[in-house]
């Protein structure tokens, strides 16, 4: 019998399919497309201490095999998230992980402190890797020292699952993953978007108001796989993989290079029921290939 469950810390996930922050709203925007309760976890859009309007438009642009975005972490802020969003998503029979952002380490701490008493939240994905904001984001995620400080500080504020979302826009991502593990993270998620840009050659102007943005979609999958493979060779805690996943076959590739779970991102914009299709497809794939558990395939790349 196929068992797709996994455990991170003391929390059991019914399957390894999660939603990537920023691609699934606050958690229930796709409820009319499929039963959200089948997900291994909902990872919310980034939540900050105060509301954010984000960057000025244009802030999304489609390119070959992917998309550029410069949303700028627009969100309602932690107070309205608690009153307006959390009650709704808490009704679903799935794990809730809140993606947390801050301009300063103190803001990360305050958001987690404000959320930590809510039992429906099983953990946090600490976003230190967004390329679309002037403060926070890559400021923390591209500095090994700052990464250590953020993880060390937020670890003191919660006993719940702590996932550190890493940027690929560094020379050696495994160093950052090891720093997160050393300072107490239970998992890392990678990769966030690559820095990219698009140019209108007729107007001689960038398509995004911020000039550059985060590049995601199928085109980044080979690079994401390489980063996960690098990290898996040195890390002891689970890796949650993301970057260009569109199909069941993509998910299997992420497992083989070392991911214990995956997040579905840009695919949700194209087909909002992608997660459901992948979960169903995973059961079929495991049955056909006589794979019983995730442990039978994670890190089993033959080199």
43-55 pLDDT, tens digit per residue, is 999 999 999 999 9
Count how many domains the chain has.
1
- Helix axes of 144-155 and 105-115: crossing angle, nearest 10 degrees: 30
How many angstroms separate the CA atoms of 197 and 28, rounded? 30
pLDDT in tens, 92-112: 999 999 999 999 999 999 999
pLDDT over 80 (residue 79): yes
Q: What is the pLDDT of the chain when averaged over all its residues?
A: 96
How many angstroms separate the CA atoms of 146 and 138, rounded? 10
- Output helix, strand, coil percentages for the chain, rounded to the nearest 5: 35, 20, 45
Of residues 129 and 70, which shows the higher confidence score?
70
Confidence grade of residue 75 (pLDDT, cut at 50, 70, 90) = very high
Is 64 part of a structural domain of the chain? no
Report the CATH number at residue 106.
3.20.20.70
pLDDT in tens, 8-37: 999 999 999 999 999 999 998 999 999 999
Q: What are 104's two structure tokens?
A: 């300063």
Mean pLDDT in residue range 65-75? 95
**Does the global pTM surpass 0.95?**
yes
Residues 6+ apart with CB under 8 A from 246: 218, 267, 274
pLDDT over 70 (residue 116): yes
Is 203 part of a structural domain of the chain? no
3-state secondary structure of 104: coil
pLDDT over 70 (residue 136): no
Q: Are 195 and 51 in contact (CB under 8 A)?
A: no
Is 212 part of a structural domain of the chain? no
Is 144 part of a structural domain of the chain? yes
Mean pLDDT in residue range 292-298? 98
Mean pLDDT in residue range 197-226? 97
Residues 6+ apart with CB under 8 A from 135: 103, 104
Domain that holds residue 229: 6-55+71-195+217-296
Is 167 part of a structural domain of the chain? yes
The DSSP secondary structure of 181-205, one letter per residue, reads HHTT-SEEEE--PEEEE-EETTTTE
For position 147, what pLDDT does the model report?
95
* Catalytic residue list contains 130: yes
pLDDT over 90 (residue 3): yes
3-state secondary structure of 157: coil
Q: What are 278's two structure tokens?
A: 């992948």
Chain centroid to Cα 127, Å, comes to 8
Q: Are 92 and 44 in contact (CB under 8 A)?
A: no
Find the catalytic residue in 30, 122, 130, 275: 130
DSSP state of 9: T
Q: Are 18 and 42 in contact (CB under 8 A)?
A: yes
Is 105 part of a structural domain of the chain? yes
Is 66 part of a structural domain of the chain? no
Is 61 part of a structural domain of the chain? no
């Amino acid at each position: 019998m196929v068992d797709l469950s996994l455990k991170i810390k003391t929390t059991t996930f019914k399957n390894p399919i999660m939603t990537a922050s920023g691609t699934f709203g606050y958690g229930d925007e796709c409820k009319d497309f499929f039963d959200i309760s089948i997900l291994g976890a909902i990872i919310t859009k980034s939540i900050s201490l105060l509301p954010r309007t984000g960057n000025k438009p244009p802030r999304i642009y489609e390119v070959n095999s992917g998309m550029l975005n410069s949303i700028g972490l627009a969100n309602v802020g932690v107070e309205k998230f608690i009153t307006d969003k959390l009650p709704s998503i808490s009704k679903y029979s799935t794990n809730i992980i809140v993606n947390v952002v801050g301009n300063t380490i103190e803001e990360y701490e305050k958001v987690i402190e404000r959320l930590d008493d809510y039992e429906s939240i099983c953990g946090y994905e600490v976003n230190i890797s967004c390329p679309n904001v002037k403060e926070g984001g890559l400021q923390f995620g591209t500095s090994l020292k700052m990464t250590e400080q953020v993880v060390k500080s937020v670890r003191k504020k919660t006993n719940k699952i702590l996932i550190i979302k890493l940027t690929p826009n560094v020379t050696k991502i495994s160093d950052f993953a090891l720093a997160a593990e050393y300072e107490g993270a239970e998992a890392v998620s990678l990769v966030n978007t690559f820095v990219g840009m698009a140019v209108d050659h007729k107007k001689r102007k960038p398509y995004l108001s911020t000039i550059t943005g985060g590049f995601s979609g199928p085109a980044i999958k080979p690079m994401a796989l390489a980063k996960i493979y690098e990290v898996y060779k040195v890390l002891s805690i689970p890796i949650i993989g993301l970057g260009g996943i569109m199909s069941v076959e993509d998910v299997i590739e992420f497992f083989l290079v070392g991911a214990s779970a995956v997040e579905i991102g840009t695919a949700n914009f194209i087909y909002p029921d992608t997660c459901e299709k992948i979960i169903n497809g995973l059961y079929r794939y495991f049955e056909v290939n006589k794979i019983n558990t995730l442990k039978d395939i994670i890190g089993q790349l033959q080199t």
